[in-house]
Amino acid sequence: MLTRGLPLLFALVMLAVPYIPGFPPFWVTLLNFIGLASLVAIGLVVLTGVGGMTSFGQAAFVGFGAYTTAILTTTYGLSPWVSLPVALLFTMLAAVAIGLVTVRLSGHYLPLGTIAWGMAFFYLFGNMQSLGGFNGISGIPPLSVAGVPLYSAHQIYPVVFVAVLLALVLTRNLLDSRTGRAMRALRKGTTAAEAFGINVARTKLAVFVYAAVLAGLSGWLFAHIQRGVTPTAFGLNAGIEYLLMAVVGGAGHLYGALLGAGVVVILKDQLQNILPRLFGAGGNFEMIVFGALLVLGLQFARDGLWPYIARFVPSVRRQVASTTAALPATDRAPAAEVLLDVDGATKTFGGLVAVNNITFEVRSGEILGLLGPNGAGKSTTFNLVTGVAQPTRGEIRLEGKRIDRLPPRLISSLGVARTFQHVKLVPDMTVLENVAIGAHLRTGAGFVAGLLRANRTEEQAIFQEAARNLDRIGLGDEMHQLAGNLSLGSSRLVEIARALCLSPKLLLLDEPAAGLRRFEKEKLARLLQGLRAEGMSILLVEHDMEFVMGLTDRIVVLDFGTKLAEGAPVEIQNNPAVQEAYLGGVL
């Protein structure tokens, strides 16, 4: 996290620069256009760099904001300031309608979808006579303050500057909130996010709409600065340029949006002067350079330019309060009561039977081991319990309630947390922030509260809980490290701390001891024994037999998707069928 004083320092410098005596008016105009582009690029940082959704169509939302205010001010005579909320609302509604379809796409279909509707709206703007066709709308009134019209670049600059500053502050607040962490969790895939109660579809839509609103704000300003709009400004080329700004600056870095916008706008201006003279003809030759720049950037600087600057900027660690009231804990069932009941669960994939009529129970305050060779069906069973997959036949009940048809986020809301065989942490978030994701369901601050920082007390409680659980697993000193810098063993422990932040009734651990050293395994065993003493139930998949035998109360053994045996560790260890199937008779 950057120092709190950096935004203030940036604001003071940028506010003063255009008014330095002798500062060229042309560069003030260029700064205004950099500001307009920055608004769109900030939205793309949230959409692409944070939310993982690549969009080539943001220019269309700039067009929605621009055309809405153009019609309202020229046809209906409204004040530009009155048209602002209408333009943003119309852009928001359009983004909701488009986003409900677009965010469901994945892989390469998502950027292709944004290209498709970006082109569609370009031709829509150009072919609607009510919008002036390809000639557009002219005669748009300028902005005015206290009755004074803002015509010159120097006059309009403070308005653009305030809009950019406001977008930066609000976006920084958002990304540093419960909702922001949910957005950032999407970059590692949806499975882990859903496992901790994040509504993936709603979060993706919120990201999409927020980015569109920032683009709409840029369009509103653009219309009143240019005093005319045409479809050309909102075509696919513009959409590519906006995405290039985010990539060049650093799609995962908020301040990279400003850097990328500045680089691309200035470079475009210079190239438009140089390249026609170089080629001896007019044309959009700068797009060739931009294409090459995008390819080179993805090859050699995938994180953009901002990380090269950020290394020279001092950072500050998040302060974790220790006096905040604790988050509400989950009520646990009485000891020895059946918590999880898996009854005849079967899962088939076409002709393959991955899990075949498995039945077992997990009681409150019990550690149950789930063992079996590779391909035995252990991970599929985990997925059935947590809602990642649904059984073909059979039932799964938690405290008597069927959960086998519920999505993962609703199952987690009932007190079920898990870790993963393949670690699913967000590498560019700190260890503390990753663990805090586990507390998502224990708090309720929403999107607007995050923007306005109206969630400070709740945030303090979340990070206090996250720090407490990191101390429990022995990684409290590593909380400010980026998760991507951890070893595999430490990453697995962080996943356990994240799961504990949910305050679960049932904890599912998928090979938690893999990659741990002996003393770390012993410490983990003591932790799990302590959780059992607190009344937490644990379902454990692990290949370290010494670890499992010394820890579990009962063991269920699977082989080729079928339950082979069930009993106490000693019984399983001496079972000839288990020895033959699991370790070739040497268990």
pLDDT tens, position by position, 52-62: 899 999 999 99
Cα–Cα distance, 551 to 367 (Å, whole number): 7
Q: Residue holding tokens 């977008």?
A: 167
Provide, rounded to the nearest whole percent, the portion of the chain with pLDDT above 90.
Answer: 63
Contacts of 522-529 with C-beta under 8 Å, sequence gap 24+, read 523/473, 523/474, 524/473, 524/493, 524/496, 525/550, 525/551, 527/472, 527/473, 527/496, 528/367
Cα–Cα distance, 376 to 371 (Å, whole number): 8
Query: What pLDDT does residue 583 have?
Result: 54
The mean predicted confidence, pLDDT, of the chain is 89
Q: Residue holding tokens 């940028």?
A: 14
Q: Measure Cα distances from 340 to 4, 336, 412, 527, 572 in Å.
A: 47, 11, 13, 22, 21
Query: What pLDDT does residue 439 have?
Result: 93
Query: What pLDDT does residue 243 have?
Result: 92
User: HSE (CB half, 13 Å, CA atoms) of 367?
Assistant: 22
- Burial class of 442 by CB neighbour count within 10 A (0 to 12, 13 to 18, 19+): buried
Is 70 exceeded by the pLDDT of residue 149? yes
User: HSE (CB half, 13 Å, CA atoms) of 244?
Assistant: 23
> What is the phi/psi pair of residue 568, to 5°?
-70, 160
Q: Residue holding tokens 């290949």?
A: 543
Cα–Cα distance, 8 to 31 (Å, whole number): 18
The string over 258-294, giving b where at least 16 C-beta atoms fall within 10 Å of a residue's C-beta and e elsewhere, is bbbbbbbbebbbebeeebeeeeeeeeebbeeebeebe
Cα–Cα distance, 113 to 239 (Å, whole number): 13
User: HSE (CB half, 13 Å, CA atoms) of 515?
Assistant: 15
357-366 mean pLDDT: 94
Confidence band for 584, pLDDT divided at 50, 70 and 90:
low
Q: Provide the 3-class DSSP secondary structure of residue 480.
A: coil
Confidence band for 587, pLDDT divided at 50, 70 and 90:
very low
The 3-state DSSP composition of the chain as helix, strand, coil percent (nearest 5) reads 60, 15, 30
Q: Where are the beta strands (DSSP E) in 19-101?
A: none
The DSSP H or E segment spanning 127 is helix 109-127
Query: What pLDDT does residue 47 have?
Result: 94
Which span out of 3-7, 68-72, 420-424, 538-542 was modeled with the highest average pLDDT? Answer: 68-72
Query: What pLDDT does residue 301 have?
Result: 72
Cα–Cα distance, 523 to 499 (Å, whole number): 17
Cα–Cα distance, 557 to 378 (Å, whole number): 9
Query: What pLDDT does residue 1 have?
Result: 42
Query: What pLDDT does residue 586 have?
Result: 41
> Pick from 171, 152, 175: which is nearest to 163 by CA?
171
Confidence band for 219, pLDDT divided at 50, 70 and 90:
very high
- Alpha helix segments (H runs only) across 227-253: 236-249
Q: If phi over 0 gives left and psi between -120 and 50 gives alpha, with beta otherwise, what is residue 581? A: alpha
User: Could you tell me the two tokens for 90?
Assistant: 């119309």
User: Could you tell me the two tokens for 214?
Assistant: 């920032």
Beta bridge partners, 510, equal: 541
Q: Residue holding tokens 């220790």?
A: 322
Query: What pLDDT does residue 2 have?
Result: 46
pLDDT tens sequence across 231-289: 999 999 899 899 989 988 988 889 899 999 999 999 888 888 887 777 777 666 777 77
Within 10 A of 25 (CB to CB), how many other CB atoms are there?
A: 11
Q: Provide the 3-class DSSP secondary structure of residue 354.
A: strand
Please answer whether residues 407 and 184 qualify as being in contact, where contact means their C-beta atoms are separated by less than 8 angstroms: no
Query: What pLDDT does residue 29 have?
Result: 94
Domains of the chain, with CATH numbers? 31-310 (1.10.3470), 333-415+504-587 (3.40.50.300), 426-502 (no CATH)
Cα–Cα distance, 165 to 158 (Å, whole number): 10
Within 10 A of 174 (CB to CB), how many other CB atoms are there?
A: 25
Is 70 exceeded by the pLDDT of residue 164? yes
Confidence band for 319, pLDDT divided at 50, 70 and 90:
confident
Q: Provide the 3-class DSSP secondary structure of residue 97.
A: helix
Within 10 A of 545 (CB to CB), how many other CB atoms are there?
A: 16
Q: Provide the 3-class DSSP secondary structure of residue 337.
A: coil
